[in-house]
Chain A
Amino acid sequence: MYFMDDDRSIAETELLLMDYRPMATANRGSSQTNYNTETFTNGLAASQFSGSSTDEDMIDAGETDTAVNIRTHFQDVDREKLYSSSNLVDTLEDLPPGIGQYDDFHTIDWLRDIARDTLRHRQIVKKKHAGFVEWLKGAHDAWSGWMCVLLVGVATGTVAGFVDIGTSWMSDLKEGICRQAFWLNREQCCWSANDTTLDENRCSQWFMWSDLMGVENEAGAYIIRYITYMMFALLFAFLAAIFVRVFAPYACSSGIPEIKTILSGFIIRGYLGKWTFLTKSVGVILSVASGLSLGKEGPFVHIGCCCGNIISHLFPKYGNNEAKKREILSAAAAAGVSVAFGAPIGGVLFSLEEVSYYFPPKTMWRSFFCALAAAFVLRAINPFGNDHLVMFYIDYNEPWYIQELVPFILIGALGGIYGSLFIRFNIKWCRYRKTSVLGKYPIVEVLAVTFITALLSFPNPYTRMNSSELIRELMSRCGPEDNSDLCDYKRNFTSLETYMSSTTAGDGVIRSLWMLALAFIFKGIITIFTIGTKVPAGLFIPSLAIGATLGRIVGIGVEQLVVANHDNPFFYNMCRSQQQCTITPGLYAIVGAAAFLGGVTRMTVSLVVVMFEVTGGLQYIVPLMAAVMTSKWVGDALGKEGIYEAHIQLNGYPYLNSKDEFTHTTIAADVMRPRDNSPFLRRNDPPLCVITQESTTLEEIEHILHDTEHNGFPVVVSRESQYLVGFVLRRDLLLATANARKTIEGVVGESIVYFTDQVPRRVNGPVPLKLRKIMDMAPVTITDQTPMETVVEMFRKLGLRQTVVTHNGRLLGIITKKDVLRHIAQLQNQDPDSILFN
């Protein structure tokens, strides 16, 4: 009873954080386990036991061999203690909510979150044998990861099916309507009609708006179609822009830079929320249907991640732990690409290469499964009615020759040049929008861009059609069913094999070459202004379309060159006779598309895999690889970063790029705050704000919290010695003190806050407050002479939020992720203040 009374006087906020109480060796740990479970029914007694055996602790800790040993046993004991203390009425029950969560625009601490999850997991494993219900709970915990990604995959696939069907229907709505079944797009409307006329894919059921109005006159009909096309384009674009503005501003743009930042360990509240999800899904249908030069593939990644975030809340294991949630988000990003291109493997690789930051094998398998589930559901919905997951799926089996590598590499180089020009101008334009008066009129801007796009794209059939359809047409080979200008070759129809080979171009091909050239210039320029407007907009499809256009032009050129010079020894293996050359311009379009997308995004492996999954042609891997690699080389030579990194930098997101190398010789002392004598000194930093472990009062802590904006405070033994004890986060401190004030009786401003193991018994004075549990006892520390190269690696690999700098064992300063980012920006001669947020 003596101890119990004493213990009750210590107001201890029990929190679910790791606490390495130096307490027991292996024997002691196990003996105590028995002790607790068998003897003690009253949790108070257990906690009394663990809280008061100081002297023995010291001895026991001294007896253990390795730190690892200590650590595991401590966790055992700690878990045991949590288990037993669940009987306590006033400790675990009233945990302040939100411990372990983060504020908006904050960086997460991967190590802490992973440790928290390990602790939780061990608890479940331990309890597993306690009964059937506990066993069931354990089983649920074990499979919840797979279950979660399955649900994410199914949700992403379903939404993608909706968006695909909605988009294709709505884009055709600009031109006309299927009168008897308004829900069908033009292709589906004429799907089963045997009277499909050869021009423009029309049939008797499909009505142009001019037909519906009964305009017979050719010129009048054209004008009516022109006007309705523009009206619908403007209407859709307006709806997309206003929905984004009214319901969820975070739904604008492609979202991949932000997803990258979030996955690297950053919190943007509401970015993956329900309204963003809904608005983005609807907005992307509208914005693609408006005919703007943008695609739905980037937004699919964002939509997938929204599904991941929403569904992870069903599983507390993931919903309440930001680091674990990012595993689900990585898988969701893979599912997004999987449904966007019908390329599950490409999706996994995209997640690995481009978006994810932390990608252990377990996450890879989950991503694989998630991408599979998404692709399966989308295939079941069959949105395009062609048994494939993308509109531009092509089945290819044409040969290619080694000489053709020369034009492929040329296309790759052009892709790299275009990519870097695109990035440069797009960033310039976005920066102009950010700083000038243009940024004040987002909806007007969208409408203006739509007006110009619609006005200029209607006359040219290659820009008028949906970008996906354009890509499909450019990538496909000219078969017997194609009667478009693009396939107007002078064929010898008396031979049955005329479609197997290339021949001289007819007038139609020459005409379409001009149109393609105009489409290339137009799309290439308008995309720069479109990406970044405040509507959901991805840049995969426009880049692919631009590249495919150029590729097709080059392809036709090469084809005609070879046909004209078929007896040239250089082309000896490509032609059997003048009518028997086999050059496929469509293959050049595929290579061009890959090269241009590679130039813009600087992806390599995932892009090639996506392209061959889309085309189903394994034999084109070498041409694709050659072009994509050239494109990356040329692009990297002209401008260092891809479009996503450029946008991250423009917005100043705290993204520590794991692909960059840090090649400077600075040391930790140059970067840490406060710094006194470093060459990088720009202003006088206030002295480091610390908390002492057993002499700070609650009032002082509240003052510190009120006066400063630091996100964490080192805890030291005393101000004189500055020996480091641990690190406590601002948010946790805030919650714990507020909670103590509210719930624990007798805690006043003069109460001394203890971060130590024992609280000295006091007869007089206010009730002390014990906050050891919210303190991180194992902050990552470095010495002031540590090279920054190592520090940056630690931040990247361990996902640190901050590290404490010591000198001779004394606390010297602190380095946060933001400091590292600022330092890197400074070394690259950029404005270090452009790094936003915390």
Chain B
Amino acid sequence: MATFSNRFLVLYIVLSICAINISLVDSSEQTSFEDARCKCICPAYKANVNSTLPKRNVFIKDNIDPELCKCDYMLDKPDPKLCLLCQCKYESRNTTTIKVVVIIVICIISVLFVYMLFLLCLDPLITRRPTHYQEHTNEEVNLDDQSVTRMPLSGGRQRSIINRVTDEQKKWKGVVQEQRRNIYDKHSMLN
């Protein structure tokens, strides 16, 4: 049952990480990042040699009506001659998608990280008995043998699900170990 409680521990940590993320999101909910903008780029231009260059030549306004995305509305002091060469573009994006995706990415990385710690630190302590690596033979051939020997002896449905997960995990570990042997030890692949 030790593995069982540890599994819950892992799950708890993962959930709390996600909860922290979500609370961060909620606290910083502000409207200063709009999803639409109008951007005008005007060439730097001096009316005569002595006058100074304008300080800026990129003008951005957010949350503007697409109809108004024109040089005349965007510039503080519109110059019709300059406006001929200005390029105004109405652009939109979706910050919600970005937010969701970034949070999901953080969650996945956290989950993987926690699971990795579990595999590297806790798992060897729990399972005590040394797991000998056995040659990765063809799965299909001895699939039925394994399923026969590893049938749960007693217990309810939950127990068998846990067993199945453990079996699956054991199988996966064997596969990864084989891959590791190919790549890091034998250097037969992916050099």
Contact = CB atoms under 8 A, between A and B. Distances in A.
Contact of B141 (A98, A170, A189): A98
Contacts of B93: 188, 191, 382, 385
Contacts of A647: 191
B190 A253 contact: yes
A286 interface: yes
Nearest to B180: A249
A246 B116 contact: yes
B2 interface: no
Interface in B57-114: 57-63, 81-82, 84-85, 91, 93-95, 97-99, 101-105, 108-109, 112-113
B129 to A, nearest CB: 21
Contacts of B46: 493-494
Contacts of A430: 191
Interface string A155-193: 000000110011001100000000011111000110111
B34, B58, B81, B179 — most chain A CB neighbours (10 Å): B179
B133 interface: no
Interface string A120-163: 00000000000000000000000000000000000000000110
Given A97-B143, A247-B112, A252-B190, A188 B98 contact: yes
A494 B48 contact: yes
A129 B72 CA distance: 70
Given A98-B141, A192-B60, A248-B179, A651 B190 contact: yes
Nearest to A441: B184
A101 interface: yes
Nearest to B136: A104
Contacts of A180: 28, 30, 32-33
Contact of A534 (B58, B108, B120, B183): B183
B15 interface: no
A496 B62 contact: no
Interface residues of B, number: 68
Contact of B101 (A97, A161, A252, A253): A161
B12 interface: no
Nearest to B49: A494
A493 B183 contact: no
B179 A258 contact: no
B76 to A, nearest CB: 11
B41 interface: yes
B154 to A, nearest CB: 27
B140 interface: yes
A481 interface: yes
Interface in B6-59: 24-25, 28, 30, 32-34, 37, 41-49, 53, 56-59
Interface in A250-298: 250, 252-253, 258, 268-270, 275, 278-279, 282, 285-286
Interface stretch (A431-439, A505-513, A767-775): A431-439
Contact of B140 (A101, A252, A253): A101
B179 A184 contact: no
A285 B85 CA distance: 40
Given A180-B30, A382-B93, A494-B46, A650 B179 contact: no
8 contacts: A188-B98, A191-B37, A248-B179, A249-B182, A385-B91, A496-B84, A734-B141, A735-B140
Interface of B: 24-25, 28, 30, 32-34, 37, 41-49, 53, 56-63, 81-82, 84-85, 91, 93-95, 97-99, 101-105, 108-109, 112-113, 116, 119-120, 136, 138-141, 143, 172, 175-176, 179-180, 182-184, 187-191
Interface of A: 97-98, 101, 103-104, 161-162, 165-166, 169-170, 180-184, 188-189, 191-194, 196, 198, 205, 239, 242-243, 245-250, 252-253, 258, 268-270, 275, 278-279, 282, 285-286, 381-382, 385-387, 430-431, 433-435, 439-440, 442, 479-481, 491, 493-494, 496, 498-499, 532, 534, 647, 650-652, 731, 734-735, 738, 836
By Cβ-Cβ distance, the 3 closest A-B pairs, closest first, are: A98-B140, A385-B93, A192-B62
Given A496-B85, A534-B184, 10 more contacts: A162-B101, A180-B30, A181-B33, A183-B95, A188-B33, A245-B180, A279-B112, A431-B191, A480-B58, A498-B43
